[in-house]
C-alpha cells in the first residue's frame, strides 16, 4: 500500500515564505504617512493658536477659533501660554512568530484466525488421513499517518511620544500672535501682518 511522504521539506519553506521584508517596508511607509499627518495637524493647530488660517485662495485670514476675549480685547491662544502639540514615533518593534508541527504515526495490525479442517469433507485428505487439521490465517495491515500544521502570528508595537514644538516655529507663531492681537473679522490687512511678523523674526 503506497504511503504519502510527509512534508518535511515544507517546514523550512514555510519559514522562508514569511514576508518579513515586505512587512518592514510597509510598516516604514505607514509610519512615514502617519508622521506626515501628525505634523500637518500640529502645524494647523499652531496657525489656529496664532490666530489665523490659510483660506482656499492661499491667503492668511483671521481665525476666530484661535482667540479668547478678555475684557474688550481678543488674544490669540499662543499669547495666553497655549502651545501646539507635536508627536514623533521613536520606537517600532515587529515580532513574527511561527509554530510548525509535524506528527507521524506508524500503525501495524496483525489478525490471526484458526480454522478446523475435517478430512471427511475431503480437505487435506492425502496429507492428514484420519486426523483433523488446523489452518491458521494471518492478516497483516500496515498504515502510516501524517499530520502537519503551520501557524503564524505577527505583532507590531510602536511608541508615540510628544515633543516640543520647533523653536523657530514657536517664535514666528508667537510674533504673528502679537501682531494679530485685537484684530477683528473685518480686518483686511491680516495677511500683511502675518508676513511682516514672519519677516521680522527672520
| The pLDDT value given to residue 99 | 72
pLDDT, mean of residues 72-78: 93
Could you give the CA distance from residue 20 to residue 13 in angstroms, rounded to a whole number?
14
User: For 11-67, what is each residue's pLDDT tens digit?
Assistant: 566 666 777 788 888 889 999 999 999 999 999 999 999 999 998 888 889 999 999
Burial 156-176 (b: 16+ CB within 10 A, else e): eeeeeeeeebeeeebebbbbb
Retrieve residue 125's grid coordinates: 485428505
pLDDT in tens, 117-150: 555 555 445 445 555 555 566 666 666 676 767 6
Measuring CA to CA, how many Å separate 73 from each of 45, 84, 183, 184?
22, 22, 9, 10
Distance separating alpha carbons of residues 61 and 187, to the nearest angstrom? 9
pTM for the whole thing?
Answer: 0.64
> Going by C-beta distance under 8 Å and a sequence separation of 6 or more, which residues neighbour residue 115?
134, 135, 136, 137
Using the Cα atoms of residue 8, residue 14, residue 16 and residue 17 in order, give the sign of their dihedral.
positive
Amino acid at each position: 500500500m503506497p504511503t504519502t511522504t510527509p512534508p518535511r521539506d515544507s517546514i523550512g519553506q514555510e519559514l522562508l515564505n514569511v514576508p518579513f521584508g515586505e512587512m518592514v517596508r510597509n510598516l516604514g511607509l505607514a509610519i512615514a504617512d502617519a508622521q506626515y499627518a501628525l505634523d500637518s495637524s500640529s502645524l494647523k493647530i499652531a496657525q489656529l493658536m496664532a490666530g489665523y488660517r490659510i483660506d482656499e485662495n492661499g491667503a492668511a485670514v483671521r481665525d476666530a477659533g484661535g482667540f479668547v476675549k478678555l475684557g474688550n480685547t481678543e488674544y490669540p491662544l499662543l499669547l495666553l501660554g497655549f502651545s501646539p502639540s507635536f508627536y514623533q514615533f521613536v520606537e517600532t518593534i515587529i515580532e513574527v512568530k511561527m509554530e510548525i508541527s509535524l506528527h507521524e504515526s506508524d500503525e501495524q495490525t496483525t489478525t490471526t484466525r484458526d480454522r478446523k479442517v475435517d478430512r471427511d469433507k475431503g480437505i487435506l485428505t492425502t496429507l492428514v488421513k484420519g486426523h483433523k487439521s488446523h489452518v491458521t490465517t494471518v492478516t497483516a495491515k500496515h498504515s502510516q499517518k501524517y499530520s502537519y500544521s503551520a501557524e503564524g502570528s505577527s505583532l507590531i508595537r510602536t511608541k508615540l511620544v510628544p515633543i516640543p514644538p520647533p523653536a523657530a516655529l514657536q517664535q514666528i507663531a508667537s510674533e504673528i500672535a502679537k501682531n494679530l492681537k485685537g484684530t477683528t473679522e473685518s480686518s483686511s490687512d491680516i495677511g500683511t501682518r502675518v508676513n511682516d511678523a514672519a519677516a521680522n523674526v527672520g
